[in-house]
Chains A and B, each alone.
Chain A
Amino acid sequence: MKRTPLQSAILHTLLVLAVLLVCAPVIMAFIISSQTETEVLSYPPKLTFSSNWGYNYSTAWNRINLGRMMFNSAFIAIMVTIGKIIMSLLAAFAFTHFEFRGKQTLFFLIIVTLLLPVPVRIVALFDVVSKFGWINTYAGLIAPFLASATGTFLFIQRFKTVPTELIDASKMDGCRPMQYFFKILLPLTKSTIGALVVIEFIYVWNQYLWPLMATNSDKMRVVQIGIKMLMNAESSNNWGVIMAGVIMTMLPPLIVFFVLQESFMRGFALQSDK
Protein backbone atom coordinates (compact mmCIF):
# COMPACT_ATOMS: atom_id res chain seq x y z
CA MET A 1 0.00 0.00 0.00
CA LYS A 2 1.67 3.19 -1.16
CA ARG A 3 0.48 6.53 0.07
CA THR A 4 -0.28 9.49 -2.16
CA PRO A 5 1.66 12.67 -1.32
CA LEU A 6 -1.58 14.19 -0.01
CA GLN A 7 -2.16 11.26 2.33
CA SER A 8 1.31 11.44 3.79
CA ALA A 9 1.04 15.22 4.15
CA ILE A 10 -2.14 14.71 6.17
CA LEU A 11 -0.43 12.05 8.26
CA HIS A 12 2.53 14.31 9.04
CA THR A 13 0.19 17.19 9.88
CA LEU A 14 -1.74 15.01 12.30
CA LEU A 15 1.46 13.74 13.93
CA VAL A 16 2.90 17.25 14.32
CA LEU A 17 -0.38 18.45 15.81
CA ALA A 18 -0.42 15.53 18.24
CA VAL A 19 3.18 16.23 19.28
CA LEU A 20 2.46 19.93 19.82
CA LEU A 21 -0.63 19.16 21.87
CA VAL A 22 1.13 16.61 24.06
CA CYS A 23 4.22 18.78 24.56
CA ALA A 24 2.32 22.07 25.01
CA PRO A 25 2.28 22.12 28.84
CA VAL A 26 6.04 21.60 29.04
CA ILE A 27 6.86 24.02 26.21
CA MET A 28 4.76 26.58 28.04
CA ALA A 29 6.57 25.90 31.31
CA PHE A 30 9.88 26.39 29.52
CA ILE A 31 8.75 29.74 28.09
CA ILE A 32 7.38 30.95 31.43
CA SER A 33 10.65 30.02 33.14
CA SER A 34 12.34 32.74 31.07
CA GLN A 35 9.99 35.56 32.04
CA THR A 36 10.07 38.21 34.74
CA GLU A 37 7.31 38.40 37.34
CA THR A 38 5.64 41.28 35.50
CA GLU A 39 5.71 39.37 32.23
CA VAL A 40 4.29 36.25 33.85
CA LEU A 41 1.42 38.21 35.36
CA SER A 42 0.65 40.20 32.22
CA TYR A 43 -2.80 39.81 30.79
CA PRO A 44 -3.29 38.73 28.04
CA PRO A 45 -0.53 36.19 28.75
CA LYS A 46 2.81 36.66 27.04
CA LEU A 47 3.82 33.56 25.11
CA THR A 48 7.31 34.43 23.93
CA PHE A 49 10.72 33.81 25.45
CA SER A 50 12.23 36.52 27.59
CA SER A 51 15.65 36.81 29.22
CA ASN A 52 15.07 36.30 32.91
CA TRP A 53 16.58 32.79 32.88
CA GLY A 54 19.38 33.49 35.33
CA TYR A 55 17.21 34.99 38.04
CA ASN A 56 14.43 32.37 37.81
CA TYR A 57 16.68 29.34 37.77
CA SER A 58 19.04 30.52 40.50
CA THR A 59 16.13 31.65 42.71
CA ALA A 60 14.39 28.30 42.33
CA TRP A 61 17.67 26.51 43.05
CA ASN A 62 18.44 28.51 46.21
CA ARG A 63 15.01 29.11 47.73
CA ILE A 64 14.38 25.47 48.62
CA ASN A 65 17.90 24.04 48.56
CA LEU A 66 17.10 22.23 45.34
CA GLY A 67 20.66 20.98 44.95
CA ARG A 68 20.38 18.93 48.10
CA MET A 69 16.98 17.59 47.03
CA MET A 70 18.30 16.66 43.59
CA PHE A 71 21.11 14.78 45.26
CA ASN A 72 18.67 12.97 47.60
CA SER A 73 16.35 11.98 44.78
CA ALA A 74 19.20 10.86 42.55
CA PHE A 75 20.88 8.87 45.30
CA ILE A 76 17.66 7.10 46.30
CA ALA A 77 16.66 6.41 42.70
CA ILE A 78 20.09 5.01 41.82
CA MET A 79 20.33 2.82 44.92
CA VAL A 80 16.82 1.40 44.51
CA THR A 81 17.41 0.77 40.82
CA ILE A 82 20.70 -1.05 41.40
CA GLY A 83 19.39 -3.01 44.39
CA LYS A 84 16.21 -4.02 42.64
CA ILE A 85 18.02 -5.16 39.52
CA ILE A 86 20.48 -7.29 41.48
CA MET A 87 17.78 -8.87 43.64
CA SER A 88 15.44 -9.52 40.73
CA LEU A 89 18.24 -11.01 38.65
CA LEU A 90 19.15 -13.44 41.44
CA ALA A 91 15.54 -14.36 42.13
CA ALA A 92 14.78 -14.89 38.44
CA PHE A 93 17.90 -17.07 38.12
CA ALA A 94 16.70 -19.22 41.03
CA PHE A 95 13.22 -19.64 39.55
CA THR A 96 14.36 -20.47 36.03
CA HIS A 97 17.45 -22.62 36.55
CA PHE A 98 16.77 -24.67 39.68
CA GLU A 99 14.27 -27.12 41.09
CA PHE A 100 13.71 -26.81 44.82
CA ARG A 101 11.13 -27.46 47.48
CA GLY A 102 8.58 -24.69 47.96
CA LYS A 103 9.32 -23.13 44.58
CA GLN A 104 5.63 -22.82 43.65
CA THR A 105 4.77 -21.23 46.98
CA LEU A 106 7.62 -18.76 46.85
CA PHE A 107 6.70 -17.80 43.30
CA PHE A 108 3.10 -17.35 44.36
CA LEU A 109 4.23 -15.04 47.18
CA ILE A 110 6.04 -12.87 44.67
CA ILE A 111 2.86 -12.62 42.59
CA VAL A 112 0.94 -11.62 45.72
CA THR A 113 3.13 -8.53 46.13
CA LEU A 114 1.38 -7.10 43.07
CA LEU A 115 -1.68 -6.77 45.28
CA LEU A 116 0.18 -4.70 47.87
CA PRO A 117 1.02 -1.19 46.64
CA VAL A 118 2.25 1.20 49.35
CA PRO A 119 -1.16 2.72 50.29
CA VAL A 120 -2.53 -0.74 51.11
CA ARG A 121 0.05 -1.24 53.87
CA ILE A 122 1.00 2.33 54.67
CA VAL A 123 -0.21 2.43 58.28
CA ALA A 124 2.01 -0.40 59.49
CA LEU A 125 4.83 0.32 57.04
CA PHE A 126 5.20 3.75 58.60
CA ASP A 127 5.25 2.10 62.00
CA VAL A 128 7.96 -0.41 60.98
CA VAL A 129 10.18 2.27 59.48
CA SER A 130 9.69 4.50 62.54
CA LYS A 131 10.61 1.67 64.89
CA PHE A 132 13.81 1.07 62.92
CA GLY A 133 14.56 4.76 63.54
CA TRP A 134 14.60 5.24 59.79
CA ILE A 135 12.46 8.38 59.49
CA ASN A 136 14.60 11.04 57.77
CA THR A 137 17.17 8.51 56.60
CA TYR A 138 18.14 7.17 53.20
CA ALA A 139 17.52 3.65 54.50
CA GLY A 140 13.86 4.47 55.11
CA LEU A 141 13.48 5.76 51.58
CA ILE A 142 15.39 2.94 49.89
CA ALA A 143 14.92 -0.37 51.71
CA PRO A 144 11.12 -0.75 51.40
CA PHE A 145 11.38 -0.63 47.60
CA LEU A 146 14.23 -3.02 46.95
CA ALA A 147 12.26 -6.13 46.05
CA SER A 148 10.25 -6.13 42.89
CA ALA A 149 7.80 -8.45 41.21
CA THR A 150 8.11 -6.41 38.02
CA GLY A 151 11.83 -6.97 37.77
CA THR A 152 11.67 -10.65 38.68
CA PHE A 153 9.01 -11.33 36.04
CA LEU A 154 10.86 -9.37 33.37
CA PHE A 155 14.07 -11.32 33.97
CA ILE A 156 12.25 -14.67 34.17
CA GLN A 157 10.76 -13.98 30.75
CA ARG A 158 14.14 -13.02 29.36
CA PHE A 159 15.95 -16.05 30.86
CA LYS A 160 13.35 -18.41 29.41
CA THR A 161 14.23 -17.33 25.88
CA VAL A 162 17.91 -18.22 26.33
CA PRO A 163 18.55 -21.52 24.48
CA THR A 164 19.22 -24.43 26.85
CA GLU A 165 22.15 -25.55 24.68
CA LEU A 166 24.08 -22.71 26.26
CA ILE A 167 23.67 -24.29 29.70
CA ASP A 168 24.76 -27.72 28.48
CA ALA A 169 27.74 -26.28 26.66
CA SER A 170 28.88 -24.27 29.64
CA LYS A 171 28.45 -27.27 31.95
CA MET A 172 30.68 -29.28 29.61
CA ASP A 173 33.23 -26.52 30.03
CA GLY A 174 32.96 -27.05 33.77
CA CYS A 175 31.07 -23.83 34.47
CA ARG A 176 29.57 -23.58 37.95
CA PRO A 177 26.09 -22.00 38.28
CA MET A 178 27.28 -18.53 39.26
CA GLN A 179 29.95 -18.54 36.56
CA TYR A 180 27.25 -19.36 34.00
CA PHE A 181 25.13 -16.57 35.46
CA PHE A 182 27.85 -13.94 35.21
CA LYS A 183 29.57 -15.05 32.01
CA ILE A 184 26.68 -16.22 29.83
CA LEU A 185 23.35 -15.06 31.19
CA LEU A 186 24.14 -11.51 32.27
CA PRO A 187 25.56 -10.30 28.92
CA LEU A 188 22.41 -11.60 27.21
CA THR A 189 20.20 -9.58 29.54
CA LYS A 190 21.51 -6.11 28.76
CA SER A 191 18.43 -4.66 27.11
CA THR A 192 16.12 -6.01 29.82
CA ILE A 193 18.36 -4.38 32.41
CA GLY A 194 18.20 -1.17 30.38
CA ALA A 195 14.40 -1.31 30.34
CA LEU A 196 14.30 -1.89 34.08
CA VAL A 197 16.68 1.02 34.74
CA VAL A 198 14.25 3.31 32.92
CA ILE A 199 11.17 1.94 34.69
CA GLU A 200 12.66 1.97 38.19
CA PHE A 201 14.64 5.20 38.04
CA ILE A 202 11.55 7.06 36.84
CA TYR A 203 9.33 5.30 39.37
CA VAL A 204 11.52 6.19 42.33
CA TRP A 205 12.43 9.71 41.19
CA ASN A 206 8.73 10.49 40.82
CA GLN A 207 7.56 9.05 44.15
CA TYR A 208 5.62 11.44 46.33
CA LEU A 209 3.47 9.89 49.06
CA TRP A 210 6.11 7.78 50.82
CA PRO A 211 8.88 10.44 50.86
CA LEU A 212 6.31 12.93 52.16
CA MET A 213 5.61 10.69 55.14
CA ALA A 214 9.07 9.25 55.73
CA THR A 215 10.89 12.61 55.85
CA ASN A 216 10.25 15.89 57.58
CA SER A 217 13.59 17.67 57.63
CA ASP A 218 14.53 19.96 54.76
CA LYS A 219 17.79 18.08 54.42
CA MET A 220 16.07 14.79 53.57
CA ARG A 221 13.30 16.06 51.31
CA VAL A 222 13.16 14.90 47.69
CA VAL A 223 12.52 16.97 44.56
CA GLN A 224 8.86 16.05 44.13
CA ILE A 225 8.05 17.48 47.56
CA GLY A 226 10.32 20.39 46.60
CA ILE A 227 7.90 21.39 43.84
CA LYS A 228 5.14 21.85 46.39
CA MET A 229 7.51 23.67 48.77
CA LEU A 230 8.56 26.00 45.98
CA MET A 231 4.94 26.79 45.16
CA ASN A 232 4.31 27.62 48.82
CA ALA A 233 7.53 29.63 49.17
CA GLU A 234 6.73 31.74 46.13
CA SER A 235 3.59 33.02 47.77
CA SER A 236 3.16 35.82 45.24
CA ASN A 237 2.92 33.00 42.70
CA ASN A 238 5.95 33.99 40.75
CA TRP A 239 5.38 31.25 38.22
CA GLY A 240 8.63 32.00 36.40
CA VAL A 241 10.59 30.71 39.39
CA ILE A 242 8.23 27.78 39.96
CA MET A 243 8.42 26.69 36.33
CA ALA A 244 12.21 26.96 36.44
CA GLY A 245 12.14 24.52 39.37
CA VAL A 246 9.75 22.23 37.50
CA ILE A 247 12.01 22.16 34.43
CA MET A 248 15.08 21.33 36.53
CA THR A 249 13.39 18.50 38.44
CA MET A 250 12.10 16.84 35.28
CA LEU A 251 15.50 16.71 33.59
CA PRO A 252 17.21 13.70 35.24
CA PRO A 253 14.46 11.13 34.50
CA LEU A 254 14.12 12.56 31.00
CA ILE A 255 17.82 12.09 30.38
CA VAL A 256 17.61 8.48 31.60
CA PHE A 257 14.60 7.93 29.39
CA PHE A 258 16.14 9.33 26.22
CA VAL A 259 19.51 7.64 26.70
CA LEU A 260 18.00 4.19 27.29
CA GLN A 261 14.96 4.60 25.09
CA GLU A 262 15.87 1.83 22.66
CA SER A 263 16.39 -0.87 25.26
CA PHE A 264 13.28 0.38 27.06
CA MET A 265 11.21 -0.21 23.92
CA ARG A 266 12.92 -3.54 23.22
CA GLY A 267 12.39 -4.66 26.81
CA PHE A 268 8.70 -3.98 26.41
CA ALA A 269 8.45 -5.59 22.99
CA LEU A 270 10.11 -8.68 24.36
CA GLN A 271 7.46 -8.87 27.05
CA SER A 272 4.67 -9.61 24.64
CA ASP A 273 6.67 -11.65 22.16
CA LYS A 274 4.61 -13.85 19.87
Chain B
Amino acid sequence: MNKSAFPNKYLPYVLLIPTFVILVVFLFYPAVETFRLSFYKVNPFSGAARFAGLYNFKNLFTNPAYLKSFFRSAVFAVGVVLVGLVLSLLLALLLNQKVKGAQVYRSLLIWPYALSPAIAGALFNFMFNPANGLMGYFTGIRTWLTHGNTALFVIILAAMWKNLGYNIVFYLTALRNIPTDALEAASIDGAGPIKRFFFITFTFLSPMTFFLLVMNTIYAYFASFGLIDVLTEGGPAGATNILIYQLYRDFFVNSRVGYAAAESLMLFMLVVLLTIVQFKTTERKVYYQ
Protein backbone atom coordinates (compact mmCIF):
# COMPACT_ATOMS: atom_id res chain seq x y z
CA MET B 1 0.00 0.00 0.00
CA ASN B 2 2.76 2.47 -0.65
CA LYS B 3 2.59 3.47 -4.27
CA SER B 4 -0.55 4.75 -5.87
CA ALA B 5 -1.48 2.47 -8.73
CA PHE B 6 -3.88 5.01 -10.14
CA PRO B 7 -3.30 8.76 -9.88
CA ASN B 8 -6.80 9.91 -9.07
CA LYS B 9 -7.68 12.57 -6.56
CA TYR B 10 -11.35 12.06 -5.92
CA LEU B 11 -12.13 8.46 -6.80
CA PRO B 12 -10.78 6.91 -3.55
CA TYR B 13 -13.04 9.17 -1.49
CA VAL B 14 -16.02 8.32 -3.64
CA LEU B 15 -15.26 4.64 -3.13
CA LEU B 16 -15.15 5.09 0.63
CA ILE B 17 -18.30 7.20 1.01
CA PRO B 18 -20.81 4.33 1.32
CA THR B 19 -18.78 2.59 4.01
CA PHE B 20 -18.24 5.73 6.04
CA VAL B 21 -21.84 6.91 5.88
CA ILE B 22 -22.88 3.61 7.48
CA LEU B 23 -20.01 3.71 9.98
CA VAL B 24 -20.76 7.23 11.16
CA VAL B 25 -24.54 6.82 11.44
CA PHE B 26 -24.73 3.30 12.86
CA LEU B 27 -21.38 2.74 14.57
CA PHE B 28 -19.47 5.83 15.64
CA TYR B 29 -22.34 8.09 16.58
CA PRO B 30 -24.27 5.42 18.55
CA ALA B 31 -21.07 4.34 20.32
CA VAL B 32 -20.14 7.87 21.38
CA GLU B 33 -23.73 8.64 22.34
CA THR B 34 -24.00 5.44 24.41
CA PHE B 35 -20.80 6.33 26.26
CA ARG B 36 -22.12 9.85 26.89
CA LEU B 37 -25.41 8.51 28.25
CA SER B 38 -23.57 6.29 30.70
CA PHE B 39 -22.77 9.47 32.65
CA TYR B 40 -26.39 10.68 32.59
CA LYS B 41 -29.56 9.91 34.44
CA VAL B 42 -32.29 9.43 31.84
CA ASN B 43 -35.97 9.68 32.60
CA PRO B 44 -37.62 6.55 31.13
CA PHE B 45 -40.82 8.42 30.21
CA SER B 46 -39.74 11.84 28.99
CA GLY B 47 -36.26 10.83 27.83
CA ALA B 48 -34.82 13.91 29.55
CA ALA B 49 -31.17 13.39 30.48
CA ARG B 50 -29.35 14.98 33.39
CA PHE B 51 -25.59 14.72 33.99
CA ALA B 52 -24.94 12.43 36.92
CA GLY B 53 -21.21 11.75 36.87
CA LEU B 54 -20.36 8.24 37.98
CA TYR B 55 -23.80 7.65 39.45
CA ASN B 56 -24.65 4.76 37.09
CA PHE B 57 -21.32 3.07 37.65
CA LYS B 58 -21.68 3.37 41.41
CA ASN B 59 -25.10 1.76 41.11
CA LEU B 60 -23.72 -0.94 38.89
CA PHE B 61 -20.98 -2.02 41.24
CA THR B 62 -23.14 -1.93 44.34
CA ASN B 63 -25.82 -4.06 42.73
CA PRO B 64 -25.36 -7.68 43.85
CA ALA B 65 -27.24 -8.91 40.77
CA TYR B 66 -24.75 -7.18 38.46
CA LEU B 67 -21.75 -8.43 40.39
CA LYS B 68 -23.13 -11.95 40.26
CA SER B 69 -23.72 -11.59 36.53
CA PHE B 70 -20.14 -10.34 36.14
CA PHE B 71 -18.82 -13.42 37.91
CA ARG B 72 -21.11 -15.90 36.13
CA SER B 73 -20.11 -14.44 32.74
CA ALA B 74 -16.44 -14.91 33.55
CA VAL B 75 -17.00 -18.56 34.49
CA PHE B 76 -19.09 -19.06 31.37
CA ALA B 77 -16.44 -17.50 29.11
CA VAL B 78 -13.56 -19.43 30.67
CA GLY B 79 -15.53 -22.65 30.30
CA VAL B 80 -16.45 -22.00 26.67
CA VAL B 81 -12.91 -20.96 25.76
CA LEU B 82 -10.96 -23.69 27.58
CA VAL B 83 -13.13 -26.67 26.71
CA GLY B 84 -13.77 -25.35 23.22
CA LEU B 85 -10.14 -24.77 22.30
CA VAL B 86 -8.84 -28.07 23.69
CA LEU B 87 -11.57 -30.08 21.97
CA SER B 88 -11.32 -28.29 18.65
CA LEU B 89 -7.52 -28.61 18.60
CA LEU B 90 -7.84 -32.36 19.19
CA LEU B 91 -10.42 -32.65 16.42
CA ALA B 92 -8.32 -30.55 14.05
CA LEU B 93 -5.27 -32.74 14.72
CA LEU B 94 -7.40 -35.78 13.95
CA LEU B 95 -8.70 -34.18 10.74
CA ASN B 96 -5.19 -33.20 9.69
CA GLN B 97 -4.15 -36.86 9.34
CA LYS B 98 -3.99 -38.19 5.83
CA VAL B 99 -6.91 -40.61 5.62
CA LYS B 100 -9.37 -41.65 2.97
CA GLY B 101 -12.43 -39.42 3.00
CA ALA B 102 -10.69 -36.65 4.94
CA GLN B 103 -12.82 -34.04 3.14
CA VAL B 104 -16.04 -35.74 4.16
CA TYR B 105 -14.97 -35.99 7.77
CA ARG B 106 -13.97 -32.32 7.68
CA SER B 107 -17.39 -31.22 6.39
CA LEU B 108 -19.19 -33.35 8.94
CA LEU B 109 -17.21 -31.85 11.79
CA ILE B 110 -17.31 -28.17 10.89
CA TRP B 111 -20.89 -27.74 9.70
CA PRO B 112 -22.32 -26.75 13.13
CA TYR B 113 -20.61 -23.44 12.31
CA ALA B 114 -23.71 -22.68 10.24
CA LEU B 115 -26.10 -23.21 13.17
CA SER B 116 -27.29 -20.34 15.33
CA PRO B 117 -26.92 -19.91 19.08
CA ALA B 118 -30.73 -19.98 19.33
CA ILE B 119 -30.84 -23.37 17.60
CA ALA B 120 -28.12 -24.68 19.90
CA GLY B 121 -30.30 -23.41 22.76
CA ALA B 122 -33.37 -25.25 21.49
CA LEU B 123 -31.47 -28.52 20.93
CA PHE B 124 -29.87 -28.48 24.37
CA ASN B 125 -33.12 -27.41 25.96
CA PHE B 126 -34.71 -30.57 24.64
CA MET B 127 -31.77 -32.82 25.55
CA PHE B 128 -31.61 -31.60 29.12
CA ASN B 129 -35.31 -30.94 29.81
CA PRO B 130 -36.50 -32.38 33.10
CA ALA B 131 -39.58 -34.19 31.75
CA ASN B 132 -38.08 -36.52 29.15
CA GLY B 133 -34.69 -35.15 28.15
CA LEU B 134 -32.26 -37.73 26.81
CA MET B 135 -29.50 -36.56 29.12
CA GLY B 136 -31.80 -36.92 32.08
CA TYR B 137 -32.55 -40.46 30.99
CA PHE B 138 -28.93 -41.45 30.34
CA THR B 139 -27.43 -39.86 33.43
CA GLY B 140 -30.27 -40.44 35.85
CA ILE B 141 -30.16 -36.74 36.77
CA ARG B 142 -33.21 -34.75 35.75
CA THR B 143 -32.33 -31.46 37.38
CA TRP B 144 -29.71 -30.22 34.90
CA LEU B 145 -31.58 -27.02 34.13
CA THR B 146 -33.15 -26.43 37.51
CA HIS B 147 -29.92 -26.15 39.50
CA GLY B 148 -27.71 -23.09 39.04
CA ASN B 149 -24.32 -24.69 38.52
CA THR B 150 -25.49 -27.53 36.30
CA ALA B 151 -27.50 -25.06 34.21
CA LEU B 152 -24.33 -23.00 33.75
CA PHE B 153 -22.58 -26.20 32.72
CA VAL B 154 -25.27 -26.91 30.11
CA ILE B 155 -25.01 -23.44 28.54
CA ILE B 156 -21.21 -23.79 28.44
CA LEU B 157 -21.63 -27.13 26.69
CA ALA B 158 -24.16 -25.75 24.20
CA ALA B 159 -22.14 -22.61 23.39
CA MET B 160 -18.93 -24.60 23.08
CA TRP B 161 -20.58 -27.17 20.80
CA LYS B 162 -21.96 -24.51 18.49
CA ASN B 163 -18.55 -22.89 18.05
CA LEU B 164 -16.52 -26.07 17.48
CA GLY B 165 -16.75 -25.79 13.69
CA TYR B 166 -15.41 -22.24 13.66
CA ASN B 167 -12.43 -23.18 15.82
CA ILE B 168 -11.67 -26.33 13.86
CA VAL B 169 -11.55 -24.37 10.58
CA PHE B 170 -8.96 -21.99 12.01
CA TYR B 171 -6.87 -24.69 13.68
CA LEU B 172 -6.87 -26.75 10.49
CA THR B 173 -5.64 -23.74 8.53
CA ALA B 174 -2.89 -23.12 11.07
CA LEU B 175 -1.86 -26.79 11.07
CA ARG B 176 -1.55 -26.79 7.27
CA ASN B 177 0.71 -23.75 7.46
CA ILE B 178 3.26 -25.38 9.75
CA PRO B 179 6.41 -25.82 7.66
CA THR B 180 6.92 -29.54 7.15
CA ASP B 181 10.72 -29.19 7.20
CA ALA B 182 10.60 -28.18 10.86
CA LEU B 183 8.68 -31.34 11.69
CA GLU B 184 10.97 -33.47 9.54
CA ALA B 185 14.10 -32.02 11.10
CA ALA B 186 12.76 -32.78 14.56
CA SER B 187 11.88 -36.28 13.50
CA ILE B 188 15.42 -36.85 12.15
CA ASP B 189 16.76 -35.60 15.48
CA GLY B 190 14.82 -38.45 17.05
CA ALA B 191 11.82 -36.58 18.46
CA GLY B 192 8.77 -38.82 18.84
CA PRO B 193 5.28 -37.69 17.82
CA ILE B 194 4.40 -36.42 21.29
CA LYS B 195 7.63 -34.47 21.63
CA ARG B 196 7.16 -33.11 18.10
CA PHE B 197 3.66 -31.97 18.97
CA PHE B 198 4.63 -30.09 22.09
CA PHE B 199 7.86 -28.55 20.80
CA ILE B 200 7.05 -27.79 17.17
CA THR B 201 3.32 -27.93 16.45
CA PHE B 202 2.30 -26.22 19.64
CA THR B 203 4.76 -23.37 19.13
CA PHE B 204 3.54 -22.76 15.61
CA LEU B 205 -0.06 -22.88 16.78
CA SER B 206 0.30 -20.36 19.55
CA PRO B 207 -0.54 -17.21 17.51
CA MET B 208 -3.72 -18.93 16.28
CA THR B 209 -4.52 -20.03 19.81
CA PHE B 210 -4.31 -16.46 21.04
CA PHE B 211 -6.48 -15.27 18.19
CA LEU B 212 -9.09 -17.95 18.94
CA LEU B 213 -8.87 -17.18 22.64
CA VAL B 214 -9.92 -13.61 21.96
CA MET B 215 -12.58 -14.51 19.38
CA ASN B 216 -14.12 -17.16 21.64
CA THR B 217 -14.18 -14.81 24.61
CA ILE B 218 -15.98 -12.22 22.50
CA TYR B 219 -18.34 -14.93 21.27
CA ALA B 220 -19.08 -16.02 24.84
CA TYR B 221 -19.75 -12.48 26.02
CA PHE B 222 -21.67 -11.16 23.02
CA ALA B 223 -22.98 -13.81 20.66
CA SER B 224 -24.49 -16.16 23.21
CA PHE B 225 -27.56 -14.00 23.84
CA GLY B 226 -29.90 -16.10 21.70
CA LEU B 227 -28.68 -19.27 23.34
CA ILE B 228 -29.45 -17.97 26.82
CA ASP B 229 -32.83 -16.56 25.79
CA VAL B 230 -33.97 -19.88 24.33
CA LEU B 231 -32.32 -22.19 26.86
CA THR B 232 -32.56 -20.64 30.34
CA GLU B 233 -33.66 -17.00 30.12
CA GLY B 234 -30.91 -16.26 32.61
CA GLY B 235 -32.25 -18.63 35.23
CA PRO B 236 -32.53 -20.46 37.50
CA ALA B 237 -32.24 -17.58 39.97
CA GLY B 238 -29.81 -15.64 37.79
CA ALA B 239 -27.33 -18.52 37.52
CA THR B 240 -26.96 -18.11 33.75
CA ASN B 241 -27.74 -14.41 33.66
CA ILE B 242 -24.62 -13.32 31.80
CA LEU B 243 -23.77 -9.65 31.22
CA ILE B 244 -25.34 -9.35 27.79
CA TYR B 245 -28.62 -10.76 29.08
CA GLN B 246 -28.57 -8.41 32.04
CA LEU B 247 -27.90 -5.50 29.66
CA TYR B 248 -30.83 -6.45 27.45
CA ARG B 249 -33.17 -6.63 30.40
CA ASP B 250 -32.01 -3.40 31.98
CA PHE B 251 -32.34 -1.51 28.74
CA PHE B 252 -35.20 -3.11 26.90
CA VAL B 253 -37.40 -4.53 29.64
CA ASN B 254 -36.71 -2.13 32.53
CA SER B 255 -35.94 0.99 30.42
CA ARG B 256 -32.96 2.02 32.55
CA VAL B 257 -31.16 3.89 29.79
CA GLY B 258 -28.21 5.47 31.62
CA TYR B 259 -27.64 2.36 33.66
CA ALA B 260 -27.69 0.13 30.56
CA ALA B 261 -25.31 2.54 28.80
CA ALA B 262 -22.90 2.11 31.71
CA GLU B 263 -23.15 -1.64 31.24
CA SER B 264 -22.34 -1.17 27.55
CA LEU B 265 -19.28 0.84 28.45
CA MET B 266 -18.08 -1.97 30.72
CA LEU B 267 -18.46 -4.41 27.82
CA PHE B 268 -16.55 -2.01 25.58
CA MET B 269 -13.66 -1.93 28.05
CA LEU B 270 -13.61 -5.70 27.96
CA VAL B 271 -13.29 -5.69 24.15
CA VAL B 272 -10.52 -3.10 24.32
CA LEU B 273 -8.65 -5.18 26.89
CA LEU B 274 -8.96 -8.31 24.76
CA THR B 275 -7.82 -6.47 21.66
CA ILE B 276 -4.74 -5.15 23.43
CA VAL B 277 -3.93 -8.68 24.58
CA GLN B 278 -4.29 -9.89 21.03
CA PHE B 279 -2.12 -7.18 19.49
CA LYS B 280 0.57 -7.77 22.10
CA THR B 281 0.66 -11.50 21.58
CA THR B 282 0.39 -11.91 17.84
CA GLU B 283 2.28 -10.26 15.08
CA ARG B 284 0.11 -11.78 12.43
CA LYS B 285 -3.19 -10.01 12.35
CA VAL B 286 -6.30 -11.82 11.25
CA TYR B 287 -9.77 -10.40 11.60
CA TYR B 288 -13.12 -12.09 11.64
CA GLN B 289 -16.48 -11.58 13.18
Contacts and interface: CB of A to CB of B under 8 A. Distances in A.
Contacts of A18: 91, 94, 105, 109
Contacts of A144: 22, 26
Given A8-B99, A45-B134, A115-B272, A143 B22 contact: yes
A5 to B, nearest CB: 12
Interface of A: 8, 11-12, 14-15, 18-19, 22-23, 25-26, 28-29, 32, 40-45, 47, 86-88, 90-91, 93-100, 103, 106, 109-110, 113-128, 143-150, 152-153, 160, 164, 167, 177-178, 180, 199, 202-203, 205-206, 208-209, 212-213, 224-225, 227-228, 231, 237, 239, 242-243, 246, 249-250, 253-254, 256-258, 261, 265, 268-269, 271-274
B115 interface: yes
A16 to B, nearest CB: 8
B3 A250 contact: no
A228 B118 contact: yes
Contacts of B123: 25-26, 28-29, 246
A202 B114 contact: yes
B34 A120 contact: yes
B124 A25 contact: yes
Given A87-B22, A93-B15, 18 more contacts: A22-B108, A25-B120, A25-B161, A98-B5, A98-B8, A98-B12, A99-B4, A100-B9, A109-B20, A115-B271, A116-B28, A116-B268, A119-B222, A122-B247, A206-B226, A228-B229, A243-B126, A250-B116
B117 to A, nearest CB: 7
Interface of B: 1, 3-6, 8-9, 11-13, 15-16, 18-20, 22-23, 25-34, 37, 91, 94-95, 97, 99, 105, 107-109, 111-127, 129, 131-132, 134, 137, 161, 164, 169-170, 173-174, 176-177, 179, 208, 218, 222, 225-226, 229-230, 244, 247-248, 251-252, 257, 260-261, 264-265, 267-268, 271-272, 275, 284, 286-289
Chain A contact residues: helix, strand, loop or mixed? helix
A272 B5 contact: no
A121 B117 contact: no
A208 B229 contact: yes
B25 A203 contact: no
Contacts, number: 284
Contacts of B286: 271-272
Nearest to B4: A99
B25 to A, nearest CB: 7
A123 B114 contact: no
Nearest to B170: A268
Contact of A199 (B112, B177, B288): B288
Q: Which of B15, B123, B129, B252 has the most CB of A within 10 A?
A: B15
B247 A227 contact: no
Given A41-B131, A113-B23, A164-B5, A250 B119 contact: yes
Given A42-B132, A100-B12, A122-B34, A95 B1 contact: yes
A120 B268 contact: yes
Highest count of chain B CB atoms <10 Å: which of A127, A180, A203, A258 = A127
Nearest to A42: B132
B18 A45 contact: no
B126 A32 contact: yes
Contact of B27 (A95, A147, A256): A147
